[in-house]
């Protein structure tokens, strides 16, 4: 695809956008649909028929042969089942292309194989998909041809959420209601709707496809399970923001084109810290659309990589000892008339509405730090959070100098009288313009940082859906708004009550604020003194979903029922156990069938050499030493392998649930590390030509 393209022409060309709807729908149907999108009113079947027909005609003109209800079950990826538009043949053998309102609104996939955590078993086996008209339908072109994709929610017969989208939409309702209450208190009568805006920055690795295919660990698990460090890592910092190589640039160009056609606002692209690591960020969108778009981004990265002879690794930690990948979830709250509730203005100390919003967020994050941590938990992210890497597993908030100072004034004197100014940046070079400095500095080590007019939640894993973190953010902030409004709406003197609330929230929750180095050991000790949770792994994070505090929160705002939360807990334990089980079995397979045989061949060649050299009457001490060293490591490998086989067998005999997941975390993971250790040492000794797979150096530096 080297032809010239005009971005403004291709942007959104495969989206059933507002513009397309205006052009193609009768006025009455368009109005009814807009009302549904904006106010959530129910759509009648007759109107749905009209919309479905228009959508079908439009999609067929784009080459579509099928439609699919595109949904996000609790597998972390999207699911789809394709139905072609054709009807049963006419008597003359021809077919028609049809798509009814009923088919648009509701689907009934045979959903018994999707995780439901016992929800469907107890009630009803069926699952339903329901059209989410707030996220636009689109036509996707791939090897299957062109398919009309209809974003849908996925629920059980009795309405329990079996997906990511349903609770996300519910949490958006919750924050909308509570934020409007808050705005009304400040005399805002014009804003009609408040929505969370989300901009996720997606990190990923690219490796050569031929090399990828020689690594069974990458094929089966998405990460390397063995691998010695290459002579060069990321220590020179020469990759971050470095020149993008031509092969990668060609890939990025095609990714952008594909995304733009689908209405995804791909905006920034650059090389990341680790070799072969890159990042893509779109312009932020409404949370619901941002979540769908992030799924499209991940799928597009993978598909286009294949077209370029590469593989895109979305795993959080594809390579031990090399930076992993995450997803910074930028989040703010915006009204339909363009007010960002997180915009402090030039003088934040005078902006009482902003200060209230800010202290509510402090309260929300402090009260539910455990839930936020859980929202970023997945098996891959365990290798980042709480390990020696960004960001730490302890949730804290970075405010920056200016807001920190306003907060201190509030806590100390009860009133803030000034805001530190950003000032200008002097470069000392006359020909350069002087730059206005931001009053909010950056702190790359904070897991939850205020960055000007938004918060950036940096714990999310690169492969994970961003639905969970946004569900939690929306709901916990809705709760804090609600509690503040409950008091303020009843107050005799609004000014006084507001002042008191801001001061008390700031004081009571200042422990969550930390502006220092989040990677330091001192912070771990300090956080413990402050009583902040330090939840190190996914298995430890999962129970936070069903504490009394969490159940009360989610039930109060109608985001999750207790049964839904319990089902998610079950699914997560199962998922964790399955992932580690696959990793352990892959290690066993690779060690038994590839590594041990290769090392045996190497020892034989050494032994042959020893014999030949000594027969020739020469000195063989080096060869003998190498042979002994290799044989010893081989013996260690065999012992560690036997142990791993044993613990995996033990796990297989355990009942599903928490104990089994914990066993995988504590026992199986440890056995995996024990097997990896001698193998990585062997890789440094054995003849490269005999080693059965490409090395880290081959994978990371020869893309």
Side-chain-facing half-sphere of 686: CA atoms under 13 Å: 29
Region of 360 please: left (phi>0), alpha (psi -120 to 50) or beta: alpha
Q: Which does 340 bind (CB under 5 to 8 A by kind): Mg ion, ligand ADP, none?
A: ligand ADP
CB 67 within 8 A of CB 82: yes
The contact pattern for ligand ADP, residues 277-316, with x = CB under 6 A and - = no contact, is: ----xxxx--------------------------------
Cβ distance to ligand ADP smaller for residue 200 or 318:
200
Q: CA 572, CA 379: separation in Å to the nearest integer?
A: 10
The contact pattern for ligand ADP, residues 43-82, with x = CB under 6 A and - = no contact, is: ----------------------------------------
The contact pattern for ligand ADP, residues 446-465, with x = CB under 6 A and - = no contact, is: -------xx-----------
CB of 286 to ligand ADP, least distance (A): 10
Q: Which does 243 bind (CB under 5 to 8 A by kind): Mg ion, ligand ADP, none?
A: none
Give burial (CB, 10 Å; 0-12/13-18/19+) of 302.
Answer: middle
Give burial (CB, 10 Å; 0-12/13-18/19+) of 48.
Answer: buried
**Span 153-212, contacts to ligand ADP by CB under 6 A:** 197-199, 201
Q: Which of 515, 506, 514, 509 is nearest to 411 (CA)?
A: 506
Q: Which does 694 bind (CB under 5 to 8 A by kind): ligand ADP, Mg ion, none?
A: none
| Beta strand pairing call for 64-70 and 145-156 | parallel
CB 425 within 8 A of CB 410: no
CB 309 within 8 A of CB 210: yes
Cβ distance to ligand ADP smaller for residue 228 or 357:
357
CB of 607 to ligand ADP, least distance (A): 55
CB of 290 to ligand ADP, least distance (A): 8
**Span 191-220, contacts to Mg ion by CB under 5 A:** 201
Cβ distance to ligand ADP smaller for residue 68 or 195:
195
CB of 240 to Mg ion, least distance (A): 11
Q: Which pair of tokens denotes residue 563?
A: 């049964």
Alpha helices (H) in 436-520, listed in sequence order: 467-490, 494-508
The contact pattern for ligand ADP, residues 655-694, with x = CB under 6 A and - = no contact, is: ----------------------------------------
**Span 319-378, contacts to ligand ADP by CB under 6 A:** 328, 330-332, 340
Q: Which pair of tokens denotes residue 186?
A: 């400040």
CB 326 within 8 A of CB 444: no
Size of the site for ligand ADP (CB under 6 A): 16
Cβ distance to ligand ADP smaller for residue 150 or 179:
179
CB 612 within 8 A of CB 604: no
CB of 374 to Mg ion, least distance (A): 25
Q: Which pair of tokens denotes residue 593?
A: 């069938």
CB 469 within 8 A of CB 198: no
Cβ distance to ligand ADP smaller for residue 169 or 198:
198
Residue from 268, 347, 412, 628 in contact with ligand ADP (CB under 6 A): 268
Given the rule CB under 6 A, which residues bind ligand ADP?
A: 197-199, 201, 268, 281-284, 328, 330-332, 340, 453-454
């Amino acid at each position: 695809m080297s032809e010239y393209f005009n971005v403004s022409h291709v942007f959104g060309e495969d989206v059933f956008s507002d513009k397309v709807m205006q052009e193609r729908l009768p006025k009455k149907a368009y109005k009814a649909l807009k009302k549904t999108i904006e106010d959530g009113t129910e759509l009648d079947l007759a109107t749905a028929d009209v919309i479905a027909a228009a959508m079908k005609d439009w999609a067929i003109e784009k080459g579509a042969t099928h439609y699919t209800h595109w949904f996000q079950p609790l597998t972390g990826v999207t699911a789809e089942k394709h139905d072609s538009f054709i009807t049963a043949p006419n008597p003359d053998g021809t077919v028609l292309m049809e798509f009814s309102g009923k088919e648009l609104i509701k689907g009934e996939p045979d959903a018994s194989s999707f995780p439901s955590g016992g929800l469907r078993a107890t009630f009803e086996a069926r699952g339903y998909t329901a059209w989410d008209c707030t996220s636009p339908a689109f036509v996707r072109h791939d090897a299957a041809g062109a398919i009309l994709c209809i974003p849908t929610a996925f629920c059980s017969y009795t309405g329990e959420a079996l997906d990511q989208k349903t609770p996300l939409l519910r949490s958006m309702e919750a924050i909308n209601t509570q934020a409007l209450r808050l705005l009304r208190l400040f005399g805002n009568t014009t804003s009609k709707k408040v929505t969370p805006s989300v901009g996720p920055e997606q990190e990923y690795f690219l490796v050569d496809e031929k090399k990828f295919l020689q690594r069974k660990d990458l094929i089966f698990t998405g990460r390397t399970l063995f691998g010695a460090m290459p002579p060069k890592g990321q220590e020179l910092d020469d990759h971050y923001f470095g020149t993008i190589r031509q092969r990668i640039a060609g890939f990025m160009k095609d990714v952008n084109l594909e995304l733009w056609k689908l209405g995804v606002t791909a905006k920034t692209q650059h090389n990341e810290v680790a070799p072969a690591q890159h990042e893509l960020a779109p312009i932020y969108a409404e949370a619901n659309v941002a979540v769908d778009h992030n799924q499209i981004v991940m799928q597009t990265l993978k598909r286009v990589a294949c077209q370029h002879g590469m593989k895109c690794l979305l795993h959080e930690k594809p390579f031990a000892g090399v930076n992993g990948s995450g997803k910074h979830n930028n989040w703010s709250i915006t009204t339909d008339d363009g007010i960002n509730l997180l915009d402090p203005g030039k003088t934040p100390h005078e902006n009482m509405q902003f200060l209230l919003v800010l202290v509510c967020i402090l309260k929300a994050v402090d009260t539910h730090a455990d839930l936020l941590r859980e929202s970023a938990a997945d098996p891959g992210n365990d290798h980042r959070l709480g390990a020696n890497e960004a960001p730490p597993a302890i949730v804290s908030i970075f405010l920056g100098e200016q807001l920190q100072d306003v907060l201190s004034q509030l806590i100390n004197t009860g009133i803030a009288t000034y805001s530190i100014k950003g000032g200008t940046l002097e470069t000392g070079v006359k020909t350069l313009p002087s730059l206005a400095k931001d009053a909010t500095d950056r702190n790359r080590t904070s897991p939850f940082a205020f960055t000007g007019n938004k918060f950036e939640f940096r714990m999310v894993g690169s492969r994970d859906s961003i639905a969970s973190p946004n569900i939690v953010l929306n709901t916990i902030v809705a709760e804090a708004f609600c509690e503040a409004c409950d008091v303020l709406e009843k107050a005799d003197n609004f000014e006084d009550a507001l002042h008191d609330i801001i001061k008390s929230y700031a004081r009571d929750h200042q422990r969550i604020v930390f502006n220092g180095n989040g990677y330091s050991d001192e912070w771990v000790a300090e956080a413990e003194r402050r009583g902040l949770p330090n939840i190190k792994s996914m298995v430890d994070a999962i129970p936070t979903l069903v504490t009394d505090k969490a159940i009360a929160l989610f039930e109060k705002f109608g985001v999750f029922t207790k049964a839904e939360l319990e089902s998610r807990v079950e699914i997560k334990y199962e998922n964790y156990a399955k992932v580690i089980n696959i990793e352990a079995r892959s290690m066993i397979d690779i060690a038994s069938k590839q590594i041990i045989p290769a090392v045996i061949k190497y020892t034989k060649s050494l032994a042959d050499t020893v014999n030949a050299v000594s027969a020739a009457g020469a000195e063989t001490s080096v060869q003998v030493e190498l042979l002994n060293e290799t044989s010893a490591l081989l013996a260690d490998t065999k012992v560690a392998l036997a142990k791993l086989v044993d613990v995996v067998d033990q796990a297989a005999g355990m009942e599903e649930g928490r104990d089994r997941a914990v066993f995988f975390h504590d026992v199986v993971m440890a056995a995996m590390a024990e097997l990896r250790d001698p193998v990585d040492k062997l890789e440094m000794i054995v003849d490269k030509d005999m080693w059965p797979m490409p090395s880290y150096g081959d994978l990371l530096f020869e893309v």
